[in-house]
Structure 1
Amino acid sequence: MSTGFTSCQARTLRAAYEAASAVVAGLGDAQSWQPTGCTGWAVRDLVFHCVQDAQRALVALHTPTDEPADRDWTTYWQDWAPDTAGAANGRRWARVNGSMFLDFGQLKGLYLETLAAVVHAAGEADPARRVSTQGHVLTAGDLLTTLAVEATVHHLDLTVALPRAPRPSPEGLAAVRATLDGLLGRPAPQEWSDARYARVATGRAALTDAERTALGPAADRLPLFG
């Protein structure tokens, strides 16, 4: 029986996941070996990583807690610094485990069905309910926003060598921009596209001299997460 919850965060996550799923659904084995925007990962490695994130989402949405929230949709990202030993280990782990799928179709199927399950669970979740994930407590609504942000950033990563692939959803890109502005403490220049902002603010692309000048002292705080 439906609980009647369909939050704006759930709608944003649905849009982000459906856009990403449209990319993966159209991939064949040869395309799964294309490079991505993530250091050392081919498309299939990143798809495996995104499956793991979706599985984490399912666990979190079914792990309610009475503990107070210690993170929100912005501060959640403060723990995720690039170029750490943990990040390097994570890259290796995804490559090794993703390689165990000899048939990319199996991995693709797992990805599509897991993301669809998360979308369903998100639509049933009370956005005010507190849940546990990654050693922190967030409201379910804030968790959904973080998931949409990660899915959208990785959508950009996934399509680096796939120029004809579907683009990220406007809702997902808006969530990324709002998150980055929150971490930066000020809005980025409006002339920056959402995709460009996402790449430079997460260490996937270097700032140009003009962009650094436009940001001023705040430029030294980049990357905001990776």
Structure 2
Amino acid sequence: MRAPERGALPLWLAATLGRTYGRLTETVQGLTDADFRRPTRCEGMEVGPLLVHLLYDAERALAAFATPSTTEPDRDFVSYWQDYPARAEDAPEPDTSFVRTVASAYRHPSETLVGHWRELSEAAARAAAVALTDHHRVVKTQGHVLGVCDVVATLVVEATVHHLDLTVHLPDAPEPDPEGLQVTARTLDGLFGPEAWDVIEWDTTTYVLKATGRVPLDDHDVDRLGSYVTRLPLIG
């Protein structure tokens, strides 16, 4: 079964980012302080620390859009993730002490952390809309140079994947933005490779969860993927 056609990135990518961040805000704004201690799919990060991690990604957006470059891009929205491969099984667990310490400083995260997230995420979405008025603009982020469309796509992927991480023990949370899921799947397609697409038979959400190692592969998946199974997970 051939994977569904993902197509190009959305024309109004800033709107996709705004909705993607908005779904995260909907998820956290009704939580209690105790809910911020619920586990997520990310090792060592509860809901609070993971939201802090996302908050710093929104901050990355603001820094990137204010840091233009005159050099040619050396990454696009797919190759950007080659610097963030999945962690090997025998690798040490990631150090999450920083985000956990920052999260613990919010005495009432249901108000203060959520308010900080809302302020920064909405500012990042507005800045993305301004930056995307010039589709030829390139900026610096994370030690690389990317076009603004590519930067926004990486922000959508980060937020979408972590939305799924964040809500694993929040059964009443909204689903990620559908267009955000498509951008994420399009990114994973680029990493997986066109010759491997014919073996994908998952729906988009399952594809994102399994291709990023959030949900383990079952025996049927392994049989279906064949030699391509060694390519997964595509990112950590």
Q: TM-score, normalised by structure 2?
A: 0.88
Out of 93, 100, 119, the position equivalent to 2:98 is: 93
Q: Does 1:20 align with 2:24?
A: yes
Aligned to 2:157: 149
Aligned to 2:138: 130
**Preserved contact between residue 201 and residue 222 of structure 1 (Cα < 8 Å):** yes
| Cα distance change of structure 1 residues 188 and 97 upon mapping to structure 2, 3 Å threshold | farther
Note the residue ranges of structure 2 that are not aligned, 5 or more in a row: 1-9
Out of 197, 204, 210, the position equivalent to 2:207 is: 197
| Cα distance change of structure 1 residues 69 and 99 upon mapping to structure 2, 3 Å threshold | same
Matched residue type, 2:35: Q
Farther-moved stretch of structure 1 (210-219 vs 60-69): 210-219
Matched residue type, 2:170: L
**Preserved contact between residue 16 and residue 148 of structure 1 (Cα < 8 Å):** yes
Out of 213, 218, 226, the position equivalent to 2:228 is: 218
Note the residue ranges of structure 1 that are not aligned, 5 or more in a row: 1-5
**Preserved contact between residue 200 and residue 225 of structure 2 (Cα < 8 Å):** no
Q: TM-score, normalised by structure 1?
A: 0.92
Aligned to 1:52: 56
**Preserved contact between residue 7 and residue 123 of structure 1 (Cα < 8 Å):** no
Backbone CA RMSD of aligned residues: 1.8
Q: Does 1:118 align with 2:150?
A: no
Query: Aligned partners of 1:16, 1:100: CA distance in 2, in Å?
Result: 26
Q: Equivalent residues in 2 for 1:149-188 (5 A)?
A: 149-186=157-194, 187=197
Query: Aligned partners of 2:157, 2:227: CA distance in 1, in Å?
Result: 25
Q: Equivalent residues in 2 for 1:101-112 (5 A)?
A: 101-104=106-109, 105-112=111-118
Aligned partner of residue 172 in structure 1, secondary structure: helix
Distance apart, 1:95 and its partner CA? 1.2
Query: Aligned partners of 2:56, 2:43: CA distance in 1, in Å?
Result: 18
Distance apart, 1:190 and its partner CA? 5.6
Query: Aligned partners of 1:103, 1:26: CA distance in 2, in Å?
Result: 13
Structure 1 residues 6-25: Cα deviation after superposition (integer angstroms, max 9, x where no partner): 95221221221111111122
Query: Aligned partners of 2:79, 2:11: CA distance in 1, in Å?
Result: 20
| 4+ long deviations beyond 6 Å | 84-87
Out of 36, 41, 52, the position equivalent to 1:32 is: 36
Give the count of matched residue pairs: 220
Query: Aligned partners of 1:76, 1:19: CA distance in 2, in Å?
Result: 24
Farther-moved stretch of structure 1 (202-211 vs 72-81): 202-211
Aligned to 2:14: 10
Distance apart, 1:160 and its partner CA? 0.3
| Cα distance change of structure 1 residues 49 and 86 upon mapping to structure 2, 3 Å threshold | farther
Out of 36, 43, 47, the position equivalent to 1:43 is: 47
Distance apart, 1:214 and its partner CA? 1.9
Identity score, percent: 44
